[in-house]
Chains A and B, each alone.
Chain A
Amino acid sequence: MNIQMKKGIVEICVLSTLRKEPSYGYKIINDISEIVSISESTLYPILRRLEINGCLETYTQEFNGRIRKYYKITDEGLNKINDFISEWSKVEKAFRFIKSWEE
């Protein structure tokens, strides 16, 4: 997939996996690996960026005697997903346009 496109989509995918419940690094990677393969070092800056932009919050919780960092979606993050969905019709329109000039 095109890098620019992938970047935007992965962000939304990450946010979507947090919609049901807060999650942690390893689980997020596994959850979204079905649609996009993403390395650990790629996910990290995405999570940071989303946190800085206020789309998610973090908290730590003990698990098996160690600390795990959990990511929780915020209202801002939910808005971002909705924006993406509502923008999709425009993307489809562009897609049809691109296709129509194919021949």
Chain B
Amino acid sequence: MNKSEFLGKLNLGLNNLTDSEKKDIISYYDELIEDMMESKNITDEEAIEELGSIENIISKFSKQDEKIVYEEEYAGSNKKEFAKNIIFILVLWAILSAIIECYGFTIKLAIRLYTNCFNQISDSLGNGVALFGGATILTGVLIAVIPPIYRLVCIEIKSIRKLIISIRS
């Protein structure tokens, strides 16, 4: 196994750690392998052999004991993150409410334009067509904004779900 294969396997094996922890461990081994190669004048394969089995290394980093170290460090930032999450959810909630409110008004306006246009088309063709155009534009806008609103709703639901999970644990 060469160095990049080893680090790739390590990366996969440490999946239950956070990205920054993973990055730190990988650069630690990257540096170690380079240092071993240089000081002992060996190849990366030989250096990796000396490190022992990769499964052993991975299981050591996944052990409870090591996790405690990480948890200590992240205990402080977790609280901050928790507060941040709540603020994010509330702000997004307010924005979504405002958007849905506007959406309702726009639907109402579009319906009124459609009914007015049929009422007025008999009196003045120009007015009727203009109103119909306006109503059509509004309809287009209403359809076009559905995907971004849907995405925002998804983000909100995901954040709430995350918050519930973090409260439970």
Query: Are A and B co-members of a single complex?
Result: yes
Residues of A that sit less than 8 Å from B by CB:
24-27, 39-42, 44-45, 48-49, 52, 64, 66-69
Chain B min CB distance to A88 (Å): 26
B148 within 8 A of A: no
Q: How many residues of B contact A (CB 8 A)?
A: 23
Asked whether, in the complex, the Cβ of B27 is within 8 Å of the Cβ of A41, the reply is no
B31 with A66: CB separation less than 8 A: yes
Q: Which of A39, A48, A67 has the most CB of B within 10 A?
A: A48
Given A41-B60, A41-B61, A44-B25, A52 and B31 contact (CB-CB distance below 8 Å): no
Q: Which chain B residue has the least Cβ–Cβ distance from A42?
A: B60
Q: Cα distance A16–B52 when bound, in Å?
A: 27
A26 and B73 form a contact (CB under 8 A): no
Residues on B lying within 8 angstroms of A by beta carbon are 25, 27-29, 31-32, 34-36, 38-39, 51-52, 56-57, 60-61, 65-66, 69-70, 72-73
Contacts of B31 in A (CB 8 A): 24-26, 66-69
Return chain A residues, CB-CB under 8 Å to B72.
Answer: 52
7 sampled A-B residue pairs with Cβ under 8 A: A25-B31, A26-B31, A39-B52, A40-B29, A45-B66, A64-B34, A66-B34
Once bound together, how far apart are the Cα atoms of A52 and B24, in whole Å?
14
Inter-chain CA distance A66–B33, complex, in Å, is 12
Q: How far is the CA of A40 from the CA of B6 in the complex (A)?
A: 15
Q: Which residues on A sit within 8 Å (CB–CB) of B28? A: 25, 40, 44, 69
Residues of B contacting A40 in the complex (Cβ-Cβ under 8 angstroms): 28-29, 32, 51, 57
In whole angstroms, how far apart are the Cα atoms of A58 and B57 in the complex? 23
- The reply to whether B69 and A26 form a contact with Cβ atoms under 8 Å apart is no
A39 to B32, CA, bound (A): 12
Task: Check if B60 sits within 8 Å of A26, measured CB to CB.
Answer: no
Chain B residues, CB < 8 A from A67: 27, 31
Closest to A69 in B: B31
List residues of chain B with CB within 8 A of the CB of A69.
27-28, 31
Give A52's nearest chain B residue, CB to CB: B73
Determine if B32 and A25 form an interchain contact, defined as CB atoms under 8 angstroms apart: yes
Q: How far is the CA of A67 from the CA of B25 in the complex (A)?
A: 14
A24 CA / B65 CA spacing, docked (Å)? 23
Interchain residue pairs A-B with the least CB separation, the first 6: A26-B35, A41-B60, A45-B66, A41-B57, A52-B73, A49-B69
When chains A and B are docked, how far (Å) is the Cα of A26 from the Cα of B34?
9
Task: Please report the C-alpha to C-alpha distance between residue A45 and residue B71 in the assembled complex, in whole angstroms.
Answer: 12
